[in-house]
A and B are shown apart, each in its own frame.
Chain A
Amino acid sequence: MKNAVGTTGLILNEPLLWKIGKKGRSGFSLPRRDIDLSPLDSALEGQGPDFPDLSEVDVVRHYTRLSTWNFGVDTGMYPLGSCTMKYNPKTNERQASLPGLAQAHPLLPPQLAQGTLKIMYDLERYLAEVTGLPAVTLQPAAGAQGELTGMLIFYAFHKRKHQKRSKILIPDTAHGTNPASAALCGYKSIPVNSNKEGILDPETVAGQMDEDTAGIMITNPNTLGLFEDNIRQVAAIVHAKGGLVYADGANMNAVMGIVNMADLGVDVLHLNLHKTFSTPHGGGGPGSGPVCVTREIEPFLPVPRVIRHEDQYRLSDDRPESIGKIHAFYGNFGIQIRAYAYILSMGADLKKASQFAVLSANYIKERLKGVYHLPYDKPCMHECVFTDKHQQQYKVTTLDIAKRLIDYGFHPPTIYFPLVVQGAIMVEPTETEPKENLDQLVDALISIAAEAAEKPERLRKAPVNPKVRRLDETTAARKPCLAG
């Protein structure tokens, strides 16, 4: 392939932190001492931790070099399915670092914290508008904690009715966190098989839903990138047996302004601000996982809630049915600011973002469907799932394809997920990638498919461009070395 973005370049080595520096150096401007020493009881004092002493230059070089070994959204296209690696606007970073917000103490009296409370209050309203679910908590620190919040709400909801249900329905296309979150609330996961179209059948759900089942956790669009066409019927079945419908909103980026989750019968939904609302993923966090619910469920939301009285905002703990607190303070407020700034920057164009995300995924699907096996050949939402079935004859796997894509200058898609598809390759381009980049990704994948037939060894040895080649995960797990 001509003009691939992937290439090799100047990569510098850098030792481990404690192998550099010298005792006596300092990278910190220690504040002036304007008071006397007041030593403690010497029995409490230790020698201080064994940290290396580095100069500011040592520190800056160290982390700058490390950073160059990473691939981020700003580096290039990052079509990691289910993760919505869209562009992270720079202005969001500025807003979050404004001193008035970044330095604010969480326990300030409300009259001294009107700015942050108003941001939280308005962000809740905006998220309610986008999802159609009127009551929102911003407290969960990540999607998985949002799920846990949702399951605690399920538990509290049934407890109010003096019921203790023991099971929860989880489709086979669900995220792996779903069963783990449910288990924390004592719910046994009952897998629900999707049909040959890749979505839920109401009859299957009806056969499994009973009065010992707390409800269902649905991802919609699901992890195959497909809209759950029968969701209203499924919700009705679950509600008829006294259960609740939880929606994993990880894939909300496909349907902003397109569907109203309350109309679909959803009772509780979590969002991932770091996916749909453009906040940076930070190498694995911090995220933010607000939970949106119906009015009926609102009394169970975590405390404190932000409330408005005339033009004044304050926090209220007065919610006797609340599940309690899930975060020491109000969740990852710094991330909430970024999502708030994003929504204010986008306005009604949020719908356009979803339309373009779906357009891009369908475009990639159409262009690649002869080249890679497409297990569900129907219109997709914001992501599409291929497999390595056509490449197996050359003894080339999904892993090899993914690793080779690195050499072409792309972050690989999500692989081997969802589990219902063997050798899955899940591509989510997002709306912020221009068509040229989509074409370049498609061309790279076509070129890799040709290599798989002609030079499969090249794929098995890939990647060759990054600082390191494939790593020995077996030894890492057999002989764990977790600290130096």
Chain B
Amino acid sequence: MKEISELNFPDDLKYAGNHEWSKLDNDEVTIGICDYAQDQLGDVVFVELPQVGDTFDKGQEFGTVESVKAVSELFIPLSGEVTGVNENLEDTPELVNNEPYTGGWMIKIKPADVSEMDGLMMKDAYLDMLKG
């Protein structure tokens, strides 16, 4: 596992306490897990994602991510309806490790209330949380 200083956290994303990142583009929010989360999990071997059209309330479990010997739940940082899932992860789950912010994105949602984005952390606040 890496030191926090060795990890990458883009400035233009919002972070949740459960280590998911969110990015707002027009009316759609893309969600994935951050560099810290993928590093903690180790080699990701499987990602279980919801179906387009499923709706979730903020904080609900929307899927799981598996490494060889662990399963972790994924919690949605804001409420909304799933508008897209990253189907590439089915065959290449390693994208979560290799490109957590680009090719490793997990779902896109249409948020129920965009203002929920304001409740998420900016990079600095998130880093402070990690450093405890």
Contact = CB atoms under 8 A, between A and B. Distances in A.
Interface of A: 473-474, 477-478
Contacts of B94: 478
B43 interface: yes
Contacts of B66: 477
A477 B45 CA distance: 6
A361 B81 CA distance: 57
B80 interface: no
A373 B54 CA distance: 49
Q: What are the 8 tightest A-B residue pairs by CB atom distance, in nearest-first order?
A: A477-B45, A474-B43, A478-B45, A473-B68, A477-B68, A474-B68, A478-B93, A474-B45
Majority DSSP secondary structure for residues of A touching B: helix
B126 interface: no
Interface residues of B, number: 7
Interface string B43-78: 101100000000000000000001010000000000
Nearest to A478: B45
Given A474-B43, A477-B66, A478-B45, 10 more contacts: A473-B68, A474-B45, A474-B68, A477-B45, A477-B46, A477-B68, A478-B43, A478-B46, A478-B93, A478-B94
Interface of B: 43, 45-46, 66, 68, 93-94
A104 B66 CA distance: 46
Nearest to B92: A478
Nearest to B94: A478
A427 B76 CA distance: 42
13 contacts: A473-B68, A474-B43, A474-B45, A474-B68, A477-B45, A477-B46, A477-B66, A477-B68, A478-B43, A478-B45, A478-B46, A478-B93, A478-B94
A246 to B, nearest CB: 26
A50 B68 CA distance: 32
A473 B66 CA distance: 13
B42 to A, nearest CB: 8
B39 to A, nearest CB: 15
A75 B75 CA distance: 48
A101 to B, nearest CB: 41
Contacts of A473: 68
Contacts of A478: 43, 45-46, 93-94
Contacts of B93: 478
Nearest to A474: B43
Nearest to A473: B68
A477 B66 CA distance: 10
Contacts of A474: 43, 45, 68
Nearest to B66: A477
Nearest to A479: B91
